[in-house]
């Protein structure tokens, strides 16, 4: 293990220790947030209200010493409310730019499916290019930059489905489920101590985060691993249950995520098939479209039945592709 990769893992352990002082049962989701940050990705968190999605995002940003802003996305929100607007200054008799909340390091887009597609699309350039264009002028966003979006998978009234182009910009879609009984009791214990306060210690700053991102770029992936990734993605295009499979961008995102996972979870500077399998479900579950008959045939009154159906189909994809030796 190189010293640089060891530092990537060490920082994660310190972040986890700080966050676990306030939040219970979110280790895997925290790992995904950290991995996404290190490769310039974004995370979509699905979960019913009250599962600590916003709390976790705030705690994560606090441990990194990064600027954090939250936008409550509503049906009447305009694109300018996110990216910024030109306003007339009566003193200078000229227009000046007033930046929106997207000018931050970590942006929490709360309930992203409650705002119309036009406003959702305002995030596309920011997420893909790290910049926004207002009144014909392009402005760079701070680095690092990351969007954490939340979505309630149960409600169907007053919501707008995310466009495929935007969904594809999210590196991971992760489910925030209810905690176990013991975890829920532990949540109450922590609330007796901390209440709603959140005073996590700063572990690193923006400068070191950028250094850690460069470390991930040096994580190696050999030819058999690259072919394994491609075969998994191509299998999603051939699976009889899937109408639309993963794109080439999906394969690229699996590679990037596997590199981050190798360093963060295992402290390795090279990727193995286990890293690919670990990230595959969270990278792919929002990028495929199932055939209608599969969805209808698996219908259940359980709130998350569609998500579980997608995961079952993706497991069949993984089982169909031989693991390289």
147 and 109 fall within a common domain:
yes
251 and 138 fall within a common domain:
no
Contacts of 207 (CB under 8 A, 6+ apart): none
Res. 300 pLDDT band, cuts 50 70 90: low
Helix axes 3-19, 248-266, angle to 10 degrees: 80
Number of separate domains in the chain: 2
Tens-digit pLDDT profile for residues 278-287: 999 999 999 9
Q: What percentage of the chain reaches a pLDDT higher than 90?
A: 63
Q: Are 65 and 15 in contact (CB under 8 A)?
A: no
197 and 89 fall within a common domain:
yes
46 and 104 fall within a common domain:
yes
1 and 134 fall within a common domain:
yes
142 and 204 fall within a common domain:
yes
Residue where the block lists tokens 């990194």: 64
- Segments of the chain assigned E as strands: 43-46, 68-72, 84-89, 94-99, 106-110, 131-134, 137-140, 146-151, 172-175, 242-244, 289-290
210 and 224 fall within a common domain:
no
158 and 259 fall within a common domain:
no
Q: Are 148 and 33 in contact (CB under 8 A)?
A: yes
Q: Give the pLDDT confidence score for residue 1 in this predicted structure.
A: 62
The CATH code of the domain that includes 289 is 1.10.8.80
Of 216, 234, 254, the one marking the end of a domain is 216
210 and 223 fall within a common domain:
no
194 and 238 fall within a common domain:
no
**pLDDT value at 267 more than 80:** yes
**pLDDT value at 297 more than 90:** no
Q: Give the pLDDT confidence score for residue 304 in this predicted structure.
A: 67
pTM, 2 dp: 0.91
Region of poorest pLDDT, from 27-36, 83-92, 159-168, 265-274: 159-168
**pLDDT value at 305 more than 80:** no
Q: Are 72 and 110 in contact (CB under 8 A)?
A: yes
Q: Are 284 and 299 in contact (CB under 8 A)?
A: no
Average pLDDT over every residue of 204-211: 93
Of 195, 216, 237, the one marking the end of a domain is 216
Beta strands 172-175 and 43-46: pairing type?
parallel
Q: Give the pLDDT confidence score for residue 145 in this predicted structure.
A: 95
The CATH code of the domain that includes 147 is 3.40.50.300
CA distances from 116 to 33, 151, 163, 300 (A): 26, 14, 10, 28
- Cα–Cα distance for residue pair 279/45, rounded to 1 Å: 15
Under DSSP, the state recorded for 303 is T
Region of poorest pLDDT, from 142-146, 193-197, 224-228, 314-318: 193-197
């Amino acid at each position: 293990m190189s010293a640089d990769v060891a530092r990537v893992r060490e920082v994660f352990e310190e972040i986890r220790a700080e966050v676990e002082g306030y939040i219970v049962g979110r280790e895997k989701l925290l790992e995904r947030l950290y991995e996404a940050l290190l490769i310039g990705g974004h995370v979509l968190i699905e979960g019913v209200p009250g599962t600590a999605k916003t709390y976790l995002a705030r705690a994560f940003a606090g441990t990194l010493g990064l600027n954090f802003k939250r936008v409550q996305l509503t049906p009447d929100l305009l694109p300018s409310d996110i990216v910024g607007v030109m306003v007339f200054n009566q003193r200078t008799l000229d227009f000046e730019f007033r930046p929106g909340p997207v000018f931050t390091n970590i942006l929490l887009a709360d309930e992203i499916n409650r705002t119309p597609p036009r406003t959702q699309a305002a995030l596309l350039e920011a997420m893909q290019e790290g910049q926004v264009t207002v009144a014909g002028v392009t402005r760079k966003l701070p680095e690092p930059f990351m969007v954490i979006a939340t979505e309630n998978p149960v409600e169907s009234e007053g919501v707008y489905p995310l466009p495929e182009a935007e969904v594809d910009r999210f590196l991971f879609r992760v489910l925030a489920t209810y905690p176990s009984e013991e975890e829920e009791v532990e949540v109450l214990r922590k609330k007796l101590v901390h209440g709603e306060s959140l005073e996590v210690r700063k572990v690193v700053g923006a400068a070191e985060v950028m250094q850690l991102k460069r470390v991930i770029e040096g994580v190696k992936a050999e030819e058999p691993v690259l072919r394994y990734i491609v075969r998994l993605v191509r299998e999603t295009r051939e699976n009889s249950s899937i109408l639309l499979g993963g794109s080439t961008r999906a394969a690229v995102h699996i590679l990037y995520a596997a590199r981050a996972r190798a360093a963060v979870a295992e402290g390795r500077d090279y990727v193995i098939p286990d890293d690919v399998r670990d990230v595959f479900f969270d990278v792919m579950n929002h990028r495929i479209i199932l055939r209608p008959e599969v969805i209808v045939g698996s219908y259940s009154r359980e709130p998350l039945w569609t998500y579980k159906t997608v995961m079952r189909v993706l497991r069949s994809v993984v089982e169909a592709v031989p693991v390289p030796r």
